[in-house]
Structure 1
């Protein structure tokens, strides 16, 4: 048994609550910097306690200063801290609206500026995407899990088109991201972790300039293929740096 992983799971919610309180106290002083620093501290604490390490491939594709929508596959609860730890600058997530009702976690996500999306209600879904567009224009990168929920089998689910429509209409680039092995170190619905290495592959930017809404299926197919191409890779890119969070 990974004792550190059990402890990390037990402390996950208390740490989230304390850091959320810190965000509330810091908000009057900074709209962007403090929440982002708090999120980084939260992510680093998760990996430091659990003993999970990250192997990052393609960091050269993280271009700061140009707004983007990051799109990643989704298999585990730990995907969120993985992306917070790896991606630079100010990032926020679109998350399934039902998570708002999870005690403490939902409140923490709202306090940190995350954006709930209700895909069963078109009007509310459009409003969430509008808010996401505003965040991107203000200098915050938005992270979307285009599958809409965590996979149960490890195979990627069909992509939803909302984020792609926003990217086309607003002219935002898409940065595909592949997270590998997160399901193995932390189950789909678990907050108890196992030691291991998760690989994160940052793919080149996919520019949407010149595309129209009529092209959305082509873009969805391209991005799905790019992300999926690295999901099942094993034993490759072993020369990539392994980052032990909390110590760098």
Structure 2
């Protein structure tokens, strides 16, 4: 009976955490949505505004989920700007961690489906960040090209998760080459960011939360001045292997 009561209480507490997180995101997103409307003429300032949003929402949701990030070489985040930051993706929580860690002036590259997420997605539509149509390769390439030109003009960086989807078991998936094309077009270095173990905290398709320490590693910047389009797959795999080598064995590619 006691075990049953304990399980019920744990379930209620988890539900309460989700409700609190939803309300917090809804309220803060609405405030920033109004501010973004006022900044419609300036995409640069909307990007910077939503960078601030990330540093408001990200820490709270991470704390609420019971995750304690331990960031190794944090100085490489701001110290490398502008750069293209590339992280692995295993949990919804990754998104909140990444918008928190992303330096000011970092342009997120996000799948356009996020527009359907209440409040968060609605703000994303006004954010100035790139909402990528993964189902239309030609349009996606054109959008990346325009974003590269915009980044060069305003000395902006970018944050990307090149797996394109969450890995349910935590294993690193193949990388799409969009970040390579962006690096070649802008000449910016690539900074790999390793997020280990988060698939256990908030599993894909699950409402269960598990508290944990998360030792995040920011790896040294990779010079891209010698990268070429003809060898894009090689460059993508180079970055993937750099991240894989820092993941626990059970998360490395088979």
For the criterion TM > 0.5, the same-fold answer is yes
- Report matched runs for 1:144-183 at 5 Å: 144-183=160-199
Moved more, 120-129 or 197-206: 120-129
- Report matched runs for 1:32-111 at 5 Å: 32-64=47-79, 66-111=81-126
Unaligned runs of 5+ in 1: 235-248
Matched, 1:18 2:33: no
Counterpart residue number, 2:204 = 188
Quick one: distance in 2 between partners of 1:198 and 1:186? 13
Quick one: distance in 1 between partners of 2:210 and 2:165? 22
Quick one: distance in 2 between partners of 1:111 and 1:8? 27
The offset of 1:88, in angstroms, is 2.9
SS at match of 2:195: strand
The offset of 1:202, in angstroms, is 0.4
TM-superposition CA deviations, 1:23-68 (whole Å, max 9, x none): 2332336545433222211112212333321011122322437321
Change (3 A) 1:14 1:60: same
Matched, 1:204 2:220: yes
Matched, 1:119 2:134: yes
Quick one: distance in 1 between partners of 2:31 and 2:206? 25
Superposition CA RMSD, Å = 2.4
Quick one: distance in 2 between partners of 1:92 and 1:191? 29
Unaligned runs of 5+ in 2: 1-9, 40-44
Change (3 A) 1:5 1:83: farther
TM-superposition CA deviations, 1:143-166 (whole Å, max 9, x none): 111111111221111111122112
Please identify which structure carries the higher helix content: 2
The offset of 1:141, in angstroms, is 2.5
Decide whether the 8 Å contact of 1:23 with 1:35 is kept in 2.
yes
| Count of residues in Structure 1 that have an aligned counterpart in Structure 2 | 234
TM-superposition CA deviations, 1:76-107 (whole Å, max 9, x none): 00001112223332333212222222333321
Quick one: distance in 1 between partners of 2:54 and 2:81? 21
Decide whether the 8 Å contact of 2:80 with 2:221 is kept in 1.
no
